[in-house]
Amino acid sequence: MLIFCAALFALEFDGSFEVVTPSGSLNFGFVERGGARFTTTDEIAKYSDNRFYSAIKRKETLSIGGESYTFSPDNQFVTVAGRTYEMPIATIVTGNALLVPLESFIEIMADRARMAVDFSGGKAVFTSEGEVQRPAIQPQPTQAHEELAVPAAPVAEKKPPEADVQQDKPSEVVADTPAPPRKTKWFIMIDPGHGGKDPGASAKDGTREKTLVLDIAKKVAEAFKGDERFEVQLTRDDDTFIPLQKRTEMANSRNADIFVSIHCNAARNKDARGTQVFFLAPARSDHARATAALENSAIFLEEPTDSMDVLDFIMADVIQNEFLRESSRLAVLVEESIARDAGIPARGPAGAGFYVLNGCFMPAILVEAAFLSNVEDARLLAQESFRQRIADGIADGLREFIRELPE
C-alpha cells in the first residue's frame, strides 16, 4: 500500500537538458508546463553539496558551488547568497515535487559565475564572452531573520524597445518594503509517555517510566519559561492515561510546530545503555523495531474506538513523510545535545514505526532518555539532577533546530 501511495506522486520527465559549464556538464530532467520547461529540486540536488527542506517554512535550500539557493512554492523569487532574483514565472508544486523554471535557474547560475549563457543548439553553454557584470545598484541582502521579500520592481537598466525580448530573464531585485519578520513564536508539544494504567518500563527498584518521563517533560517546559519565543504545552501533567492517537491529535489541533514524546528505554540486553532519539521511518535494525514494539504496546490498553485502523495508519505515515527530513535532523540535534549535557552515550538517531508519531503535521521525534533495564542508567535516572540535564539537553537541541531552519 505504501509503495502504491508513493507511486501516485512519481514524476516522469519529458526529457533531459544539458548545461555545459567550465567545470563540466550538468544534465537536468525536465517537464513542460504551459510551454515552459521546469526541472525539480531533486534534479538540482544531484549537483548540490547540501540540502535542507523546511516543511514548517515551506522552503527548500540547496548549496550549489558554495552558495545557498532558497526556493519557495508558487513563488517567483529565489534567494541566492543573500541576493533576491525574480524569475518571470513562479515555481510549481506537484505531488511531492517542487518544479523550478529551468531556463531561469540556469541564467541565475550563470550570473553567479559572472558568465553569459547561450541556449542555442538544444543545450545551454556558459561563456565568458559578453561577461555578465553585477548590477550597479546592489540589492539589499536578505536578513537572517527575514522571509523572502516581495520586491516592487527589478533593478535593471532601461533597454531600448528592440531589447525588450531580454526582459524575461531573471533579475536581481530590491525590496522597497520591509520583508515580514521570521516566525517569532514557536509552539512545542511535549508528550510524557505512558501514564495512568500504562506504567511503561520499570527499574529493578520499582521506579516507573511514566513517573520519570513526566518529571523530565515538566523540566523541559520549565527550561523555556521566560523565553517569549516559545510556548510549551504537555499532553499530560499528571498520572493520566491518554491514547496514542489522542496525543497526536492534541498537537495537530494546536497547530504545534514541533512534537516531542519522552520515554525511557528497556532491553533484554542489560548492558545496553545511553540515549537515543527516533523519528517516524521504516526501522532498519532489530533494536529499533523492538523499541517501537515496546512503546506501541500501549495501544492494547486503549478502547477499540481510540485506535487507528490500518488505513488511517498508512495515510498518516504518508503525511508524516513530508516532515521526514526535518524530523531526522531534529533527532540528530536533540540526541547530540542530550549526550553532551547529560554525559551519557549517544546510540545514534534511528527511524522506527511509532504509533504516537503517526499523523503529526509537524516535525516529530520520540526521545528515549536512557535505559531503565541498565543498572547504571537506572541509577542516574533516579537522580533529579540527571533528569534536569536530560531536560536541558532536549531544550538545547530544540533551540538549535530552530536556529538552523532556513529563512
- Domains in the chain, CATH or no CATH each: 12-174 (3.30.457.10), 188-404 (3.40.630.40)
Looking at residue 146, what is its pLDDT?
34
Here the cell at position 374 is 541498565
* Lowest mean pLDDT across 175-184, 220-229, 276-285, 364-373: 175-184
Residue linked to cell 529493578: 204
Length of the chain as a residue count: 407
Q: What is the 3-state secondary structure (H, E, C) of the chain?
A: CHHHHHHHCCCCCCEEEEEEECCEEEEEEEEEECCEEEEEHHHHHCCCCEEEEECCCCEEEEEECCEEEEECCCCCEEEECCEEEECCCCCEEECCEEEEEHHHHHHHHHHHCCCEEECHHHCEEEECCCCCCCCCCCCCCCCCCECCCCCCEECCCCCCHHHHHHHHCCEEEECCCCCCECCCCEEEEEEECCECCECCCECCCCCEHHHHHHHHHHHHHHHCCCCCCEEEEECCCCCCCCCHHHHHHHHHHCCCCEEEEEEEECCCCCCCCCEEEEEECCCCCHHHHHHHHHHHHHHHHCCHHHCCCHHHHHHHHHHHHCCHHHHHHHHHHHHHHHHHHHCCCECCCEEECCHHHCCCCCCEEEEEEEECCCHHHHHHHCCHHHHHHHHHHHHHHHHHHHHHCCC
Distances in Å between the Cα of 174 and the Cα atoms of 76, 178, 268 are: 14, 10, 62
Looking at residue 68, what is its pLDDT?
81
Looking at residue 405, what is its pLDDT?
78
Give the closest residue to 85 by CA, choosing from 130, 135, 24, 15: 135
Q: How confident is the prediction for the chain on average, in pLDDT? A: 78
pLDDT in tens, 50-86: 777 666 556 788 888 778 888 888 889 888 877 889 9
- Between residues 328 and 217, the one the model is more confident about: 217
Give the burial string for 244-277 (b: 16+ CB within 10 Å, else e).
bbebbebbeeeebbbbbbbbbbbbeeeebbbbbb
Give the distance, in angstroms, between the CA of residue 313 and the centroid of all CA atoms in the same chain. Answer: 21
Here the cell at position 406 is 532556513
DSSP β-bridge partners for residue 50: 63
- Split at pLDDT 50, 70, 90, the class of 19 is very high
DSSP β-bridge partners for residue 364: 259
Distance in angstroms (rounded) separating the CA atoms of residues 226 and 234: 17
23, 129 contact by CB (below 8 A)? no
289 Cβ neighbours under 8 A, 6+ residues apart: 283, 352, 353
Looking at residue 172, what is its pLDDT?
56
- Between residues 158 and 373, the one the model is more confident about: 373
- Between residues 277 and 154, the one the model is more confident about: 277
91, 41 contact by CB (below 8 A)? no
Mean pLDDT of 178-195: 79
The torsion angles phi and psi of 332, rounded to 5 degrees, stand at -60, -50
pLDDT at 30 over 90: yes
Residue linked to cell 527589478: 154
DSSP β-bridge partners for residue 188: 232, 258
Looking at residue 230, what is its pLDDT?
95
* Lowest mean pLDDT across 108-122, 161-175, 315-329: 161-175
- Split at pLDDT 50, 70, 90, the class of 133 is very low
Distances in Å between the Cα of 278 and the Cα atoms of 29, 65, 283, 293, 333 are: 34, 33, 10, 13, 12
Distance in angstroms (rounded) separating the CA atoms of residues 225 and 397: 16
